């Protein structure tokens, strides 16, 4: 028996995928969040953004390199993710060998609350490192830019 999907609020299979790929959720990140094969580091990066947007702790946990993975929970209820731009991708294709690394630079936009409780728009820019092991891509860590 497979475990229940964690959280699908706000994303049906025919809705636009939160990662901004232009595809539907059902044709983009949904299968990855359900534990399906990840073709590339960029696809994993996009699916992790979607997991943050939807509150899918399981996907974030299992796609994190075990030695660099912090304690969860990873999603913050006060943060609402509103958009993703993938800016640069180095490596990380399906042909990559085990042990290979890839880097993906992105900007993620979100809404949060300031110290006075007002909703404010903010963004984070990061260069993430991914590594392949046993045929799967993992998120290792990220450098804030």
Q: Which residues bind Zn ion (CB under 5 A)?
A: 17, 19, 21, 28-29, 46
Spatial neighbors of 22 by CB under 8 A, at least 6 apart, are: 16
d(CA 17, CA 53): 10
d(CA 89, CA 41): 8
Q: Pick between residue 10 and residue 113 the one whose CB is nearest to Zn ion.
A: 10
Burial classification of residue 101, based on how many CB atoms lie within 10 Å of its CB (0-12 exposed, 13-18 middle, 19 or more buried): middle
Q: Pick between residue 44 and residue 102 the one whose CB is nearest to Zn ion.
A: 44
CB of 132 to Zn ion, least distance (A): 20
DSSP H or E stretch at residue 136: strand 136-144
Q: Pick between residue 68 and residue 136 the one whose CB is nearest to Zn ion.
A: 136
CB of 26 to Zn ion, least distance (A): 10
Distances in Å between the Cα of 88 and the Cα atoms of 22, 91, 106, 120 are 18, 10, 7, 27
CB of 81 to Zn ion, least distance (A): 12
CB of 59 to Zn ion, least distance (A): 12
Q: Pick between residue 68 and residue 107 the one whose CB is nearest to Zn ion.
A: 107
d(CA 27, CA 71): 31
CB of 114 to Zn ion, least distance (A): 29
Q: Pick between residue 51 and residue 96 the one whose CB is nearest to Zn ion.
A: 51
């Amino acid at each position: 028996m497979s475990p229940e999907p964690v959280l699908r609020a706000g994303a049906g299979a025919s809705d636009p995928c939160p990662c901004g790929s232009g595809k539907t959720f059902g044709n983009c990140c949904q299968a990855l969040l359900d534990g399906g094969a990840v073709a590339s580091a960029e696809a994993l990066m996009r699916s992790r953004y979607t997991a943050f947007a939807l509150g899918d702790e399981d996907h974030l946990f299992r796609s994190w390199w075990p030695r660099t993975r912090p304690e969860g929970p990873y999603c913050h209820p006060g943060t609402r993710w509103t958009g993703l731009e993938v800016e640069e991708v180095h490596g990380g294709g399906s042909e990559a060998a085990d042990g290979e690394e890839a880097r993906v630079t992105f900007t993620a936009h979100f809404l949060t609350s300031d110290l006075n409780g007002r909703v404010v728009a903010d963004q984070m820019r990061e260069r993430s490192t991914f590594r392949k092991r046993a045929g799967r891509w993992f998120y290792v860590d990220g450098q804030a830019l």
